Amino acid sequence: MRVKTNIRPVQFFVIICAVLFAPVTSVRAQSASVSDMIAQVNAVRTSTYGLSPLETDSALMSSAQAHAEYMASTGSCSHTGAGGTNAKQRMVNAGYGGGATVWGTENIYCGGRSVSEVVTWWQGDYWHLLPYKEAAYRSIGGGIATGADGQLYFVIDVAYTSGSAGSGSTSGGGSTAGTTGSSGSTSSTAAAAQRVVPIVTATLQPDGSLIHEVKQGQTYWGIGTAYGITAAEIKQLNGIPSNSTVLSIGQKLMIHGPYTATPVLSETPTSEPATETPTITQTPTITNTPTSTGTPTPRPLFEGAAGMQNLDRRGLGIGLVVVCVLGLGLMIVGGMRKKKKDEPEDYDPLNPPIDSL
């Protein structure tokens, strides 16, 4: 069974409207914002420098807007555009000058600032001030685009052709013609001094420092962008006043100083601890200290013996003989008395008892 699908006219009309009015992915700047930007540039030019206002040119409007949209689509912030083109090439390709020799300059800004803040910021250095203060410029075009991340990209292209340079006083007090662009990609002129030399990052010095030599047309902002630092950091590193906007050709700018040598700690080889030989701790032998034991001095048999040493030896000998004789006599007497005592009373020596025989 086949199912037949009918699309009502109302539904078809809604689909067509949705396709026609669907929002585009590329966000373009409102023409009012671009007009305000051009008007503010001219206000500074006329009120501050007393010059005639720049005339809006459709070719420059096209080149400026195309470059703003290119930067927004690529996320880059550079004067190098689609296909490697520079500012002059884009102006000429858009039809500016009609084949005549073109001189021009280009200012860009990438960020989320308002138009008035950007116009003020461009007045911060010599090269970005060219559209404001140089009398030779006659025409201007602008462009603003928004990137996918919401970042805004601002561009103004300012130029004149041979034979059409404006007149009037400049900031230096005289007339000028054929000035260069303000930040890197510029229109060419007959004189080499009117070109801006592309910024090429310097090579590290042996001590690790990085020094940039300023070339024709280079600015703090452009140099900082090339090295990934801010203009304020460059000025601080080089002791330049923060309000300074002028750079000289050949001026040396320190991007970063020498590396601080990190002291290398010499590794002192740690010797492995030697296996300790066990020290035999000798237990102290207790040596008995001989105690002086007093040997008793033999005492004499009688206290008076010590005094006998002083006696006459002869007298002593006589005394000993006398004592011995007396002692012997006492022994004999004592023996006799004992024998007498042991004899019976009826004992007759001449007739002794039989038992005694």
Instruction: Give percent above pLDDT 90 in the chain.
Output: 37
Q: Would the pLDDT of 28 be above 80?
A: no
Among 190, 121, 118, which Cα is nearest to 151's? 118
Q: Would the pLDDT of 346 be above 50?
A: yes
- pLDDT tens digits, residue range 188-210? 333 333 345 678 889 988 888 89
Residue 89's identity, in one-letter code, is: Q
- Torsions phi, psi for 145 (to 5 deg): -140, 160
pLDDT of residue 273: 64
Please provide the average confidence, as pLDDT, over all residues in the chain: 75
Averaged over 104-110, what is the pLDDT?
95
Please tell me the distance from the alpha carbon of residue 60 to that of residue 69, in angstroms, as a whole number: 14
Q: Which residue has the tokens 């009117």?
A: 194
What are 147's two structure tokens?
């990137």
pLDDT of residue 238: 93
Between 9 and 333, residue with greater pLDDT: 333
Q: Which residue has the tokens 């007045």?
A: 123
Q: Would the pLDDT of 176 be above 50?
A: no
Residue 61's identity, in one-letter code, is: M
CB 339 within 8 A of CB 333: no
Locate all alpha helices (DSSP H) within 125-260, ordered by sequence: 130-133, 220-227, 231-237
Please tell me the distance from the alpha carbon of residue 245 to that of residue 123, in angstroms, as a whole number: 9
- Nearest 10 degrees: CA dihedral of 242, 245, 248, 252? 30
Averaged over 218-234, what is the pLDDT?
85
Q: Which residue has the tokens 């013609």?
A: 177
pLDDT of residue 260: 72
Q: Would the pLDDT of 33 be above 70?
A: yes
pLDDT of residue 168: 43
DSSP label at 305? Answer: H
Please tell me the distance from the alpha carbon of residue 252 to that of residue 214, in angstroms, as a whole number: 6
pLDDT of residue 224: 85
pTM attached to this predicted model: 0.44
pLDDT of residue 175: 28
What are 271's two structure tokens?
């010797």
Please tell me the distance from the alpha carbon of residue 271 to that of residue 92, in angstroms, as a whole number: 78
pLDDT of residue 118: 94
Q: Would the pLDDT of 109 be above 70?
A: yes
DSSP label at 345? Answer: T
Residues forming a β-bridge with 161: 102
pLDDT of residue 337: 75
Averaged over 52-74, what is the pLDDT?
94
Averaged over 40-55, what is the pLDDT?
95
Q: Would the pLDDT of 265 be above 50?
A: yes
* Chain Cα centroid distance, residue 119: 38
Mark residue 79 as left, alpha or beta (left: phi above 0; alpha: psi -120 to 50; beta: remaining): alpha
